[in-house]
């Protein structure tokens, strides 16, 4: 019995699985994309160097990496599901709203140079865009 419990625990840690609604953004995006990036979302940009292509152009399947800030101490990551235009995408992400996965959320590029270094995410409860959030750009798995 102990061996069976041990095997089940190892399988739950090692094998990819669909995250629950309460999963962190990093766990959710890693499960959806299979990237080998770990830890706080704000550290993924540096971790991706040399492992994955990075850039400032949105693409379906790319990971938008938010910087750590006072209101996002661990940073944030979101998965691009649709490129609406050069300055608008739809994303899915976990824990933008605590304990929830949100789908098809509009995000717009608010950076001065139109290089996706700041974005605003639509607040689903108001239908308005929220504050500007600094980002690093996109990781392409």
CA distance 80 to 42: 17
**Mean pLDDT along residues 88-102:** 94
Kindly tell me if the per-residue pLDDT of 104 is higher than 80.
Answer: yes
6 lies in some domain: no
Task: Write the pLDDT tens digit of every residue in 54-65.
Answer: 999 999 999 999
pLDDT of res. 94: 95
90 lies in some domain: yes
86 lies in some domain: yes
Q: Of residues 3 and 129, which shows the higher confidence score? A: 129
7 lies in some domain: no
Q: How many domains does the chain have?
A: 1
68 lies in some domain: yes
1 lies in some domain: no
Kindly tell me if the per-residue pLDDT of 51 is higher than 90.
Answer: yes
Nearby residues of 116 by Cβ (< 8 Å), 6 or more positions away: 56, 57, 58, 64, 109, 135, 137, 138
Q: Of residues 9 and 115, which shows the higher confidence score? A: 115
CA distance 135 to 42: 9
22 falls in which pLDDT band (50, 70, 90)? low
125 lies in some domain: yes
Rg over alpha carbons for the chain, rounded to the nearest Å, is: 16
135 lies in some domain: yes
pLDDT of res. 9: 35
Kindly tell me if the per-residue pLDDT of 84 is higher than 60.
Answer: yes
Please answer whether residues 93 and 28 qualify as being in contact, where contact means their C-beta atoms are separated by less than 8 angstroms: yes
**What is the CATH classification number for the domain harbouring 24?**
3.90.1720.10
């Amino acid at each position: 019995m102990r061996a069976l419990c041990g095997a089940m625990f190892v399988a739950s840690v090692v094998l990819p699985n669909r995250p629950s609604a309460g999963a962190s953004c990093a766990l959710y995006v890693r499960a959806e994309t299979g990237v080998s990036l770990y830890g706080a979302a704000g550290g993924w940009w540096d971790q991706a160097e040399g492992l994955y292509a990075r850039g400032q152009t949105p693409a379906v399947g790319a990971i938008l990496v938010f910087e750590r800030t006072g209101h996002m101490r661990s940073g944030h990551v979101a998965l691009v599901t649709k490129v609406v235009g050069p300055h608008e995408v739809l994303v899915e992400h976990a824990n933008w709203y605590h304990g929830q996965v949100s789908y098809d959320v509009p995000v717009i590029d608010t950076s001065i140079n139109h290089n996706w270094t700041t974005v605003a995410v639509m607040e689903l409860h108001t239908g308005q865009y929220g504050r500007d959030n600094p980002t690093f750009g996109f990781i392409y798995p």
